[in-house]
Amino acid sequence: MVVSNSFKVKNICCIGAGYVGGPTMAVIAENCPEIKVNVIDISKDRITRWNHDDLTKLPVYEPGLNEIISKIRNKNLFFTFDIENSIREADLIFIAVNTPTKNEGFGSGFASDLTWVELCARQIAEFAEGHTIVVEKSTVPVKTARVIQTLLDSKNQRNVIKQNKTFSVLSSPEFLAEGSAINDLKNPDRILIGGDDQLGIDILKNIYKRWIPEDKILVTNLWSSELSKLVANAFLAQRISSINSISALCEVTGAKINEISKSIGSDRRIGDKFLKPGPGFGGSCFQKDILSLVYLCRYYGLNKVADYWEQIISLNNWQRSRVSKLIVEKLFNTVNLKKIVILGFSYKSNTNDTRESAAIYICKDLMANGAKLLIHDPKVNSAQIEKDLCKKESSNVDLDNNGCWTLIKDIQLSANKSDAIVILTEWDIYKKLNWISIASLMRKPSWIFDTRSVVDLEAIKNIDINYWGIGQGIDL
């Protein structure tokens, strides 16, 4: 099929209505009102929730997202079960499906599972009509675009009566961070387009150019684009593991990690971003993308390179377990039957996402040691926590056996007779807690374990409570 410069995008389809597909399509649809955008998903529950009248029930919580959804949903942005027609109508299709780490078979524990990407390619090959531009939004291993192109073309080759359908495959990885997704999508540092079909590249570029300055749109070859995404996440995670490793050194030497972050971050060559210590990075992507990079390096025989990047994960695992261990140690080496209030379960603030959250690992460790946990989070619900902790919620932790948990609403009330408060997510509300009244209700000696540096040390100076802060060396 001959595709000319006059090819105009009238319909976009996004396969995958998750943390990337939903917000990304909302911003595209808002900026391109004449384009119809269909977001499809194999999960009926996800689509139903995207269409919910009550916007607090949307499957993704992102500041600014509800406003866009209420403005354009069912005008030019649709969340639909109709996979077949959405693909058929589309001139441009984004693949934004999950690419988790494989947990069985070859490459288990490292390689990305491309089952869902392959399924998308087969669905597109089946239903698409005319010329279709297919864009990888999902994070994928290098050379995936070739697999997609092969799958798309194979349908044509098999047909006796050759169908009049053609495909151009591009890579345009997503760099949004959860919690700031809408702002990241509206004002990205850069947009990346990888490909070798100039016409397809121009068409995609013209969409982004509607709200993004052209000098921020970088064009590379397919493989640089695919690899850049993995490398960007690996570099970001590397900074966190680096600062977390130094937080431990601060604690034993009397140095203060926040002073270190400030002093090294003032050097413009280093920069001040991603230098906040914490309980270990979480989220669905850093670990999986580094593992994918490690797998790729080993596949090409670059074992030293693989070992280098794998260390970032190993340090992150150590940081999480270091936090659990020191909590137990400080509470006289046992947390059995002790009530501990956990503040924050999501992997960072401003998101309801708990994937790979450090809280999961730390809570499991504490429960394994017998603690009774009272978990608070402004956005995460008990069904999610139940799934993550693989344990049913207790209806009354006071009466229940050791190693149990419940979700709480009132932090102050729950602090009653508790031994410790552990801050695991940096939600704003935790910065404004009334420590005087909280401490007065706790069993003595009581502790605050602050893994996110949110507590104002001035505010607890004269209170009868012990404080441990990540990377806060005690002046000896």
Task: Give min distance, CB of 119 to ligand NAD, in A.
Answer: 4
Q: Which stretch binds ligand UGA (CB under 6 A): 38-46, 150-158, 262-270, 275-283?
A: 275-283
Interface with ligand UGA includes 178 (CB under 6 A)?
yes
Residue closer to ligand NAD by CB (options 179, 473) is 179
Among ligand UGA, ligand NAD, none, the one that 43 touches (CB under a kind-dependent 5 to 8 A) is ligand NAD
Contacts of residue 111, defined as CB under 8 A and 6 or more positions apart, other chains included, come to 101, 102, 141, 291, 292, 295
Residue closer to ligand UGA by CB (options 3, 177) is 177
Catalytic residue among 137, 229, 364, 372: 229
Q: Residue from 62, 113, 174, 310 that binds ligand NAD (CB under 6 A)?
A: 174
Task: Give min distance, CB of 88 to ligand UGA, in A.
Answer: 30
Residue closer to ligand UGA by CB (options 61, 281) is 281
Q: Which stretch binds ligand UGA (CB under 6 A): 279-287, 297-305, 378-386, 416-424?
A: 279-287
Q: How many whole angstroms separate alpha carbon 183 and alpha carbon 88?
A: 31
Of 164, 287, 304, the closest CA to residue 236 belongs to 287
Catalytic residue among 174, 251, 356, 426: 174
Interface with ligand NAD includes 99 (CB under 6 A)?
yes
Residue closer to ligand UGA by CB (options 139, 292) is 139
Task: Give min distance, CB of 463 to ligand UGA, in A.
Answer: 27
Q: Residue from 275, 297, 371, 407 that binds ligand UGA (CB under 6 A)?
A: 275
Interface with ligand NAD includes 380 (CB under 6 A)?
no
Q: Residue from 96, 169, 192, 257 that binds ligand NAD (CB under 6 A)?
A: 96
Q: How many whole angstroms separate alpha carbon 195 and alpha carbon 220?
A: 7
Residue closer to ligand UGA by CB (options 178, 310) is 178
Strand order across the beta sheet in which 165-171 lies: 77-80, 36-40, 11-15, 92-95, 130-136, 165-171, 191-194, 217-220
Residue 80: both structure tokens together: 């639909």
Q: Residue from 278, 378, 403, 469 that binds ligand UGA (CB under 6 A)?
A: 278
**Residue 392 bears catalytic tag:** no
Instruction: Map residue 332 onto helix, strand or coil.
Output: coil
How many residues comprise the chain?
A: 476
Interface with ligand NAD includes 41 (CB under 6 A)?
yes
CB 193 within 8 A of CB 169: no
Interface with ligand UGA includes 233 (CB under 6 A)?
yes
Q: Residue from 27, 40, 250, 424 that binds ligand NAD (CB under 6 A)?
A: 40
Strand order across the beta sheet in which 420-423 lies: 404-407, 372-376, 339-343, 420-423, 447-450, 466-469
Residues in contact with ligand NAD, shown as a per-residue x/- string from 277 to 316 under the rule CB under 6 A: -------xx-------------------------------
Residue 151: both structure tokens together: 């799958």
Of 365, 442, 456, the closest CA to residue 411 belongs to 442
CB 244 within 8 A of CB 312: no
Among ligand NAD, ligand UGA, none, the one that 281 touches (CB under a kind-dependent 5 to 8 A) is ligand UGA
Residues in contact with ligand NAD, shown as a per-residue x/- string from 5 to 34 under the rule CB under 6 A: ----------xxxxxxx-------------
Q: Residue from 47, 201, 207, 285 that binds ligand UGA (CB under 6 A)?
A: 285
Q: Residue from 97, 240, 296, 415 that binds ligand UGA (CB under 6 A)?
A: 240
Residue 116: both structure tokens together: 């869902």
**Residue 356 bears catalytic tag:** no
Residues in contact with ligand UGA, shown as a per-residue x/- string from 132 to 171 under the rule CB under 6 A: -------x--------------------------------
Phi (first) and psi of residue 102, to 5 degrees:
-65, 135
CB 37 within 8 A of CB 78: yes
Strands of 29-129, DSSP E: 36-40, 77-80, 92-95
Amino acid symbol at 303: N
64-80 CB burial, b ≥16 within 10 A, e <16: bbeebbeebbeebbbbb
Among ligand NAD, ligand UGA, none, the one that 276 touches (CB under a kind-dependent 5 to 8 A) is ligand UGA
Among ligand UGA, ligand NAD, none, the one that 119 touches (CB under a kind-dependent 5 to 8 A) is ligand NAD
**Residue 205 bears catalytic tag:** no
90: left (phi over 0), alpha (psi -120 to 50) or beta: beta
DSSP β-bridge partners for residue 271: none
DSSP β-bridge partners for residue 112: 101
Among ligand NAD, ligand UGA, none, the one that 394 touches (CB under a kind-dependent 5 to 8 A) is none
Q: How many whole angstroms separate alpha carbon 225 and alpha carbon 223?
A: 5
* Dihedral angle sign, alpha carbons of residues 331, 332, 335, 337: negative
Strands of 279-332, DSSP E: none
Per CB under 6 A, residues contacting ligand UGA are 139, 174-178, 233, 236, 240, 274-276, 278, 281-286, 347-348
Q: Name the residues annotated as catalytic.
A: 174, 229, 285
Per CB under 6 A, residues contacting ligand NAD are 15-21, 40-43, 46, 96-99, 116, 119-120, 123, 138-139, 174, 176, 178, 284-285
